[in-house]
Structure 1
Amino acid sequence: MSRATRRGGTGRSLRTTFSIARPHLRGHGLLIAGGMATLLVEVVLRVLEPWPIKVVVDAVSVSLGADSGATAGLPAATVPLLLACGVLLLGLVGLRAIAQYCSTIAFALVGSRVATALRARVFAHLQSLGLGYHSHAKAGDTVQRVIGDIGRLQEVAVTAGLPLVGNIVTLVVLSVVMLVLDPLLAVVVLLAAGAYLLLSRRGAPRITAAARSTRRSEGDLANTAAETLGAIRVVQAYGLEGQRAEAFDRGNARALSQGVKSRRLAAALERSTDVIVGLALAVVLVAGGWRVIDGAMTPGDLVIFTMYLKIALRPLKDLAKYTGRIARATASGERVAELLEERVDIADRPGTPPLGPVSGDIRFDAVTVDDGHGRRLFDELTLDIAAGETVCLLGPSGAGKSTLAGLLTRTSDPFSGAVRIDGVDVRDATVSSVRGSVTVVLQESVLFAASVRDNIRAGRPDASDADVERAARRALAHDFVTALPRGYDTVLGGRGDTLSGGQRQRIAIARALLRDAPIVVLDEATTGLDPAARAAVAASIAELTRGRTTLSVTHDATSVRDADRIVWLEDGRIVEDGTPRSLLADPGSRVAAWFRESLQEAS
C-alpha cells in the first residue's frame, strides 16, 4: 500500500488531493480572484434578496390592521411600494444570476486548466518511470488514473467545490445577520450545524473508504478490459471469451457493490441532514410565530428569518449531498498522488552535460545487476566493444542478455560498476543524449496508431518527407508502403496490426535508420518471422548496422555468422568470447553445441 493510501482520514485525503493541484494554481491568480469576488457579490445579493419580501409582508400586514407591537409605525401597502419591491427583487435575482454565472465560469476555467496541466505532469512522470515500474503496473488501471481520476477531480471541483465554498461563505454571513436579527432563534442554526458536524465526522471517513475501494475496483476492471482487448487474437484463438467475460463480470460486480455502498452511506448522511434541517425549521416556525404574537417580531421578520434559515441550512444539505462526490474525488486524488509518488530511478543529475559526438566505443565496466527480486544476473561483469564492431550475445534464457543490452539506453542502471560510451559513464551524461546515441530494434515492433510516415518519423521528428522516404527505401519498405491504400499517409491500426510481422519490422528499421544513431541494439529482431520475412528483415538490418557498433541479442543461428564476435553469457559471467569462426570450429564450445541444436530444430 502506498503512502497516499495509508493517509486515511478525509481531511488528510483532501490535503493530499489539494497538494497535487496546488503547483498548477500558480499563474491563475487573477482568474481565481475574479471568481472569488463575484462569489462574494453573489453572497451579498443572496443576503439582500429576502428583504423586498419582508417589506411587502409587513406592509400588507399593516394594511390588514396589524398596527401594534413590532409593526407599529410601519408603512401600509401601496401600489408603488409593491411595484418597487417587485422590481427590486427581480433586479437582485438577475444580478445574483449574473454573478453566479461569472464565478462558475471563472472557476471552471481554472479547474480545466489545472486538470490539463496535472494530466500532462502525470503523463510525463509516467514516461520517466523505469521498466521496473512498468513491468508490474497494470496498464488499464494506470490509464484510468490519468484520464478518469483526474477528470473526476476536475468535475467535482466545479460541481461540488465551487457551490460548497459559496454556501459556506453564505452560512457564515447569514449566521451573523441572524444573530443581529434575533439571537435566540439564531442559536437554532448553530445547533443544527453542530448536529451535522457530528454526523459528518462519523460518516465522511466511511464514505471516503468506500469510494477508495470503488475506484480501486474500477481500475482493476479497466485493466481486465485492456488486457483482454490487447490479447484479443489469443482470446479468440483459444476460445477464452467466456473465461475473460467471467473475470470482467466478477470485477464489474465488485465495482458495483463498492459503488452502491458508497452511495448508500452518502444517501444516509443526506437524509439525516434533511431531518436536522426540517427539525430546525419547525423549531423556528413555532418559536418565531410565538414571538410575532408576543410583539417581539413582525410577520416580515419571521418570513425573512425563515428564508435566511433555509438559505443558511442549504450548505448543510449541500455538504451532505456533496460529501459522496468529494469523497470519490479525494479517492481519485489519492490514486493520482500514488502515481506521482513513484520514484524516478533514471534521471539527470543537476548540471549533467549531454554526450558529445559518439564514435561508438562501449565498455561494461565491472557491472553488477540484479533482476529486482534479489537474484544477481551479473556480478562485476566486464565487456569491451570497439566502435563499429558487431557483437552477438548468446546464452540460455534468463541469462540477462536483454538486461545487459538495456543498460545502454538506461532503461535501468547497474547496482554497481559503470556502462561507458566513448569512455563516459552514461550516468554522467543526460538521459536524452545517451538514448539519442542508441537505436533499438525489438522483437515486437512497436508501431503507433498513426500514419506510416509519422511512425517512421518518430525516429527523428524534424525529418522531411524525403528523409522518411529515403529511410524506407534503405529498409526495403518503400515498395509495400506505396502499395498501401494511401501510401505513406495510410493510418495503421493499433500496434500496427494491419501489417504483417515482417512489414512491421521493416517500418521499425526505417525508423531506426532515420534516427542515424552510432550504436544499434537488436533484441531478437528476426525471431518469430517466416523464412521469407526473415530474409527481407535481415537485408534491412544489414543496411542499418553497416558501420555502426551493434549489440545483437538473438536466437537466430543464421545471423551469428556475420558477427565480429560472439559472447556467451551464463550464470552471471562471460563463459565464451571469440569470433564465430573460432567458436564454431571448437566442437566442445557452448556456441558450437547451440549452433548444432539450432540447425537440427530448423531441419
Structure 2
Amino acid sequence: MRSVIPAPLRRTLALIDLREHRLLIIVGLLALIGDVAFRILEPWPMKIAVDTVTRALGADIAVATGTPEDVTTTLVMWALILAGIVAGRAVCNYISTIAFAKTGVKVVTRLRTRVFDHIQSLSLQYHSRASIGDTSQRLVGDMGRLQEVAVTAGLPLIGNLATVVVLFIVVMVLNPVLSLVVVATAALYLLISSVAAPQITAASRATRKGEGRLVGDAAEALAAIRVVQAYGLEDTIASSFAAGNQKALTANIRARRLAARLERSTDVLVGLATAVVLGFGGWQVMQGMMTPGDIVLFMMYLKTAMKPLRDMAKYTGRIARAQASGERIADLMDEPVDIADPAEPRDMIGVEGTVTYDRISARDGHGRPLFTDLGLTIPAGQRVGLLGPSGAGKSTLAGYLVRLADVDTGAVRLDHYDTRDVRRDELRQQVSILFQESVLFATTVRENIRYGRLTATDDEVIDAARRAGAHDFIMALPDGYDSVLGNRGDTLSGGQRQRLAIARSMVRDSAVVVLDEPTTGLDPASRALVEESLHELTRGRTTLAITHDISMIRSLDRLLWLEDGQIVEDGTPAELLTDPDTRISAWARTQEDAVHQKELL
C-alpha cells in the first residue's frame, strides 16, 4: 500500500483520524452501496420498455419471460418501478452526501484543534522565525482544502470505484466484447491521470506556498501600518504585495489549467467510448445479436460507468490541491515540541517563591554560548533588578522560570521544584510576567483582567483594577468593565494598557513576578502611575525586574549585573550605585545624563 500511495498523499491521510466517526462513515458507505445497487437497476425498466414497444410494433425479438403481453400495463408498471428506483437512489445519495459532509466537517474541526494546540506548544524560537500570516493560512485556508481530500471527495471516490467495478462485471456478463470498451477507457484515463496528477500537485503546492507568503506579507504590513503610513511606504509595500500576488496567480492558473485539461481529456475519452458502443452495438442489433433494449441498457450502463471517471477527473485536481495543503499542515505538525511536560510530573504545593539557577549553561539561537555555569539564588519575597548590556540574555534568563526555553545543563528551580519536573501550566500559574508591550485581547476589559486567573470573581477583578490604579479610567469607558477593547487595546493609552496588564497580574496572585521593561516608552506622568501600581503588585513577592528606570531600580532590594554569561556584580542599590567603580554606577550615570539631555531639549 505504501508503495502505491504517493508520499504526499500518505502524509495527508496520516493526519486524518476517522475512528471517532465510524457510525457516520458506516451509514454513508451503506447508503453508497444502495446508490450503486440502484444505479445497476435503473436501466432495466428502460430496456424492458423499449423491447416491449419494439415487439408491439412488429419486430421479431425475444422478450424476457414473464413480461405481461399488454403493452400499456407493461409500460405503466415499469415506469412506476423506474420512478421507485430513481427515488431510492436519490434518498441513498442524499444520506451518503450528508453523512460524508458531516464526517468531513467533524474531522477537520478536530484536526484544526489539534494543529492549534500543537502550534501553541511550539517554542518561542519557532514562533520567532515563523510567519504569523502563513501559520494562520495553514490553520484556516489549508484546513478547508484538506476537508476535500479527507471526506468530501475522498470517500465518494470509494462509491465511484465500486460502481465502475460492479458495472464492469455486469457488462462483461451481458456483452464481453463491448465490455472491452469500458476497460480500454478506464485504462486510458488511469494513464492520463498518472501523468497529470503529479503536475497538478506540484502547481497546487506552489500556489499554497505563494498564498501563505502573501498572507504573511499582508499581516506584517497591517501590523506595522503606523510605520508604513508615517514613512510613506504604501507604494513600496503595495509593489511587494503585488509581485507576490502575481506569483501566486501564475501558479494557481497553471494548477487550474492542468486540472481542466484532465477533465476535458476524460470527456473526450467518454465521447469516443460512447461512439464506439453506439456503432458496434447498433451493428449487433442489426445482426440479431442484441435487442434494441440491450443496446439502450448497455448505453445507460456506459454512461453510468463513465460518470465516475468524470468525477475522478474532477476530484483529481481537488485532491492534488488538498495534498499540497495537507503537506503544509503535516510540515507544521512535524515541528518538534522542544518544551514538553514530564511523563510523571510532580505536583507543586505551597510555593513560596525562592528562585534558584543552579550552575546553568545554555546557547543562544545561533549556537553561541549565552550562559556558562551561572549560579544565582533569589530568596522568597526579595525584589531583584537584573541589568546588563543589550544581548546579555536578561529576558532569556527570566524566561527560563516559566520554560519559555530550557537550559542545556544545570537546573532552574522554584523552591525545591525543578521546572522540568512539573507541568508547564502549573509552573506558569506561579509566575506573573509583565512585558514592555502590554498585550490585550479584543474582548471586554473584565475578561482581559480575568485572563490572569480564569476562576477570578467579578469582585476580585474590580479589586485588582483598583489596586493597579485602573478602576477610574475603566469606569470612564462607555460600558465600564464590559467595554470591548479594539485590536491589542490600541484604543487605550500606553499607561492605561500597562495598568490593565498589572491588574491581570494581580488577579493571578502568583508567588513570583517578572517585570520586563514595564515602563519603557511611557511619558513621565504615566510612568509615575505605573510605578505606583508596580510597587503594589510586587509587595511581598519575589520579583525579577529587567528595567532601565533609575527610580524603579533605587526601590529594589538587590541589583545584579549580567555580562558574558555570568553575574559579575551583586549587591544592594545603595552599595552599587554609590561605588563609582561599579558597572551599575557607570550605567546609572549614563542614564541620568540621557534624562538630563531630554529635559534640556
Q: Which category describes the TM-score, using the shorter chain as reference length?
A: over 0.9
Give the Cα separation in 1 of the matches to 2:369 and 2:268: 65
CA distance in 1: counterparts of 2:67 and 2:348, whole angstroms? 88
CA distance in 2, matches of 1:211, 1:363: 52
In structure 2, the partner of 1:339 is 332
Amino acid at match of 2:437: E
The counterpart of 1:58, out of the listed 51, 55, 64, is 51
Which of 483-492 and 336-345 deviates more?
336-345
Tell me the alpha carbon deviations over residues 423-453 of structure 1, each in whole angstroms, 9 at most, x when there is no partner: 2211011111111110000000010000000
Q: Deviations over 1:69-102 (max 9, x none)?
A: 7899976661111111211111111111111111
Matches within 5 A, 1:168-247: 168-247=161-240
| Paired position in structure 1 for 2:245 | 252
- Distance of aligned partners of 1:290 and 1:482 in 2 relative to their CA distance in 1, 3 Å threshold: same
8 Å Cα contact 2:13/2:150 also seen in 1? no
Partner of residue 590 from structure 2, selected from 584, 594, 597: 597
Match of 1:498 among 484, 491, 506: 491
Matches for 1:438-517 after TM superposition, within 5 Å: 438-517=431-510
- The one of 567, 582, 601 aligned to 2:575: 582
Aligned twin of 1:313:
306
Find the partner of 1:39 among 22, 25, 32: 32
The residue type equivalent to 2:183 in the other structure is: L
Alignment-mate amino acid for residue 82 of structure 1: L
Alignment partner, residue 14 of structure 1: 9
> Aligned pair 1:120/2:120, yes or no?
no
Tell me the SS of whatever aligns to 1:502: helix
Q: Which secondary structure does the structure 1 equivalent of 2:20 belong to?
A: coil
| 1:421 maps to 2:414 | yes
Q: Secondary structure at the match of 1:521?
A: strand
Q: How does 1:46-85 map onto structure 2 within 5 Å?
A: 46-68=39-61, 78-85=71-78
Matched to 1:12, the amino acid is A
Distance in 1 between the 2:33 and 2:66 partners? 34
For structure 1, which segment, 411-420 or 228-237, has the greater mean C-alpha deviation from structure 2 after superposition?
A: 228-237
Q: Deviations over 1:100-152 (max 9, x none)?
A: 11111111111111111111111111111110111111000101111111122
Give the TM-score normalised by the residue count of structure 1.
0.96
Query: Match of 1:409, as an amino acid?
Result: V
- Given that residues 62 and 75 in structure 1 are in contact (C-alpha distance below 8 angstroms), is that contact kept between their aligned partners in structure 2? no
Q: Does 1:524 align with 2:517?
A: yes
Task: Report whether the alignment pairs 1:561 with 2:545.
Answer: no
Q: How big is the shift at 1:365?
A: 0.9
Contact 1:141–1:222 (8 Å) recurs in 2: yes
Contact 2:100 2:152 in 1 (8 A): no
Count of residues paired in the alignment: 595
- Structure 1 stretch 56-65 or stretch 178-187: which is displaced more? 56-65
CA gap of 1:77–1:192, structure 2 versus 1, over 3 A, is: farther
SS in 2 for 1:351: coil
| Cα 1:433–1:69 shift into 2, 3 Å | closer
Matched ranges for 1:97-116 at <5 A: 97-116=90-109
Please identify, of 278-287 and 9-18, the stretch whose mean Cα deviation from structure 2 is larger: 9-18
Q: Distance in 1 between matches of 2:580 and 2:553?
A: 16
Query: What CA distance in whole angstroms lies between the structure 1 residues aligned with 2:557 and 2:271?
Result: 88
**Deviations, residues 182-207 of structure 1 (Å, cap 9, x unaligned):** 11111111111111111111110111
Q: Are the structure 2 counterparts of residues 306 and 589 from structure 1 closer, same or farther at C-alpha, using a change threshold of 3 Å? A: same
Does residue 152 in structure 1 map to residue 149 in structure 2? no
Q: How far apart are residue 12 of structure 1 and its match?
A: 2.1
1:541-560 CA-partner distances (Å, limit 9, x unpaired): 00000000000111112211
Equivalent pair of 2:16/2:150 in contact (CA under 8 Å): no
Residues 389-438 of structure 1: per-residue CA shift (max 9 Å, x gap): 11111111111000000000100000111101112211011111111110
Quote the offset at 1:241 in angstroms.
Answer: 1.3
Q: How far apart are the structure 1 equivalents of 2:249 and 2:416?
A: 58
State the TM-score, normalizing by the size of structure 2.
Answer: 0.97
- Identity across aligned pairs (percent)? 57
Deviation by residue 1:500-558 (Cα, 9 ceiling, x = unmatched): 00000000000000000000000001111000111000001000000000001111122
In the other structure, the counterpart of 2:395 is 402
Which residue in the other structure is 1:3 paired with? none
Distance, in Å, in 1 between the alignment partners of 2:25 and 2:41 is 24
Alignment of 1:305-384 (within 5 A): 305-384=298-377
Unaligned runs of 5+ in 1: 1-6
Equivalent residue runs for 1:268-283 within 5 Å: 268-283=261-276
Query: Is the Cα–Cα contact under 8 Å of residues 101 and 152 in structure 2 kept in the other structure?
Result: no
- Tell me the distance in 2 between the aligned counterparts of 1:158 and 1:363: 53
The aligned residue for residue 552 of structure 1 is 545
- Structure 2: distance between partners of 1:73 and 1:287: 29
What residue identity is the alignment partner of 2:593?
Answer: Q
Distance verdict in 2 for CA 1:525–1:8, change over 3 Å:
farther
Tell me by how many angstroms 1:47 deviates: 0.8
After TM superposition, the structure 1 = structure 2 runs for residues 299-310 of structure 1, keeping only pairs within 5 Å, are: 299-310=292-303
Aligned-partner Cα distance in 2 for 1:500–1:87: 76
Match of 1:89 in 2: 82
Distance in 2, matches of 1:77 and 1:228, equals 79
- Deviations 1:295-345 (Å, cap 9, x if unpaired)? 111111111101101111112111111111111111111111111111111
Matches of 1:503 and 1:71 in 2, distance apart?
A: 89
| Runs of 5+ consecutive residues of structure 2 not aligned to the other structure | 597-601
Q: Secondary structure at the match of 1:568?
A: strand
Q: Is the 8 A contact 1:459 1:515 kept in 2?
A: yes
SS at match of 1:461: coil
Name the structure 1 match of 2:599. none
Q: 1:312 to 1:526 in 2, by over 3 A?
A: same
Q: Answer whether contact 1:362 1:384 (CA < 8 A) is retained.
A: yes
Query: Does the CA-based 8 Å contact 2:104-2:152 persist in structure 1?
Result: no
Q: Distance in 2 between matches of 1:9 and 1:165?
A: 16
